[in-house]
Structure 1
Amino acid sequence: MKAFHVITASAGSGKTYTLCEHFITIAVSDPQQLKHGFKRILAVTFTNKAAAELKFRILQTLQDIHNENPSVAKLTSSITTTLGISTSELQQRCIRVHQFILHQYSQFSVSTLDSFTHKLVRAFHQELELPGPFTIELDVKGFYNRIIGELMDLFGKNATVTGVVSDFARSRIHDAGHWDPQFLLWSFTELLEQERARPYIEIIRQFKDSELKAQHESIVKSIFYYQTEVVKRADAVFQYASSHGITAAMCIGKSRGFWAVLQKIKKQQTCRPEFFENTHFEKC
């Protein structure tokens, strides 16, 4: 058998059947290791339901092969051909493996990916520099609340944390008009959960703190420059409109359309993106 075998299949095309065949083939391949062979096989899937189904199918198939069930005749033929053994020999191996699995069910390694990862991390927690009695946090909101609380405890004590939180709060207060830094941080965590944010998070992780600060300052300067330019241009449009006798009533949407956008820009207020679509002066 190949050491690495990739099976590509769509939904409902028989992945469970194929995985079951491979598992049994490996488990019964060595007659001297029937008691322990299955322990050396790791099968992982995405959900608990799929893992339970695969376990059931493996045990059921082992029994069906031994009982000469016609439904597994094709599978039996495939395994005997692969291993080069007789059907009766395969039947005896299958029933023995079936019994060994039932007697050592905890060693039957068919689980979910997250369950396997958890076991792996727990086994190597010292190498990963994690505390021994760590727990898996499933309540994401509770996790964020605790992290934000710990971060705020360092505010005023740790210079780096104080600087970052202060800069973040100042920038968000200007945009959102809210003064509570904990609320602002909590609002920001909602962005982190979005799938589209992940590529950007990975990019940000590559920068050092000093580099991020420099990038932030550069972006803030650019935003300020463009905001100033847009306000200047909005003011210029108002001056042009005033000198040519153009009023809000002459615009699409009147005082709620293009004219309203200009007023908001001039006052440096936030405008929704759709305000900039399909807005123009009527012909005079």
Structure 2
Amino acid sequence: MDQQIKAFRIFDASAGSGKTFTLAREYLSLILRPGGGRLFRRILAITFTNKAVAELKNRILNSLMEFASLSPENLETTPMFEAVQAELQTDRAALIHRSQTVLQQILHNYAFFDVSTIDKFNQRVLRTFARDLDIPANFEIVLETDVLLEEAIDNLIAQAGTDKQLTDILVDFALEKAEDDRSW
């Protein structure tokens, strides 16, 4: 990778501040620089929601399609094209040609175009090291807190009667709630 490219970049901003535009511009600037045509295979963009993943992927692909369809003679552009062109300090024809090449590369190798949620990324890392972490390879991640809480309570109650300290705590808790006419 080019010496001038930082290994990690973090963008933290409020809603509506232009994060998606900035992320797409940065991504495009990386893959459209000279020699960057296959660099998308080594880039991981992480965001928080599936909606943000879809929006970022669409913005990148739509921008590449727009860039690739431009004519070197026609001076009409988009703000994204101008931003990437200024970032790369390259001429219009070269940027259009690179966009056509990179778009084809991504479409033919779409599985390597990796924009992911932080949850999905962490899950992939855990699955990769499941054996080393001594967890089942087919572990399941539950993101619904109500389901997780219900299962934890069921497991706790199932242990009542076998662990004296736990049983005493649960009995005291139930009696306290009953005295207050509240459900335990």
Shorter-chain TM-score range: 0.7 to 0.9
Partners of 1:146 and 1:75 in 2: how far apart? 49
- The equivalent residue for 1:65 is 67
In structure 1, what residue type is equivalent to 2:49? T
- Structure with the higher fraction of residues in helix conformation: 1
1:93 — aligned with what? 98
Conserved? CA contact 2:63–2:80, under 8 Å:
no
- 1:124 pairs, out of 119, 129, 140, with 129
TM-score by length of 2: 0.77
- Relative CO higher for 1 or 2, CA cutoff 8 Å, sep ≥ 6? 2
For residues 159 and 53 of structure 1, the distance between their equivalents in structure 2, rounded to whole angstroms, comes to: 54
Gaps of 5+ in 2: none
Question: After superposition, what is the alpha-carbon deviation per residue over 1:14-53, rounded to whole angstroms, capped at 9, x for unaligned?
Answer: 322221110011122351x522x11222222333222212
User: Aligned equivalents of 1:67 and 1:145: distance in 2?
Assistant: 54
**Contact 2:48/2:118 (CA < 8 Å) preserved in 1?**
yes
The residue number in structure 2 matching 1:21 is 25
Structure 2 counterpart of 1:115: 120
Distance in 1 separating the partners of 2:64 and 2:120: 25
Residue aligning to 2:176: 171
Q: 1:269-284 counterparts in 2 under 5 A?
A: none
Q: 2:44 is matched with which residue: 19, 42, 45?
A: 42
Which of the two has higher C-alpha Rg?
1
Count of equivalent residues: 176
Q: What is the distance in 1 between the residues matched to 2:166 and 2:134?
A: 23
1:79 Cα deviation (Å)? 2.7
The residue identity in structure 1 corresponding to 2:95 is L
Within-5 A mapping of 1:189-204: none
Extract unaligned runs of 5+ from structure 1. Answer: 179-183, 185-284
1:133 shift after superposition: 0.8
What displacement does 1:142 show?
3.4
- Residue 52 of structure 2 aligns to which amino acid in structure 1? A
1:237-264 C-alpha deviation (Å, 9 max, x unpaired): xxxxxxxxxxxxxxxxxxxxxxxxxxxx
Tell me the SS of whatever aligns to 2:59: helix
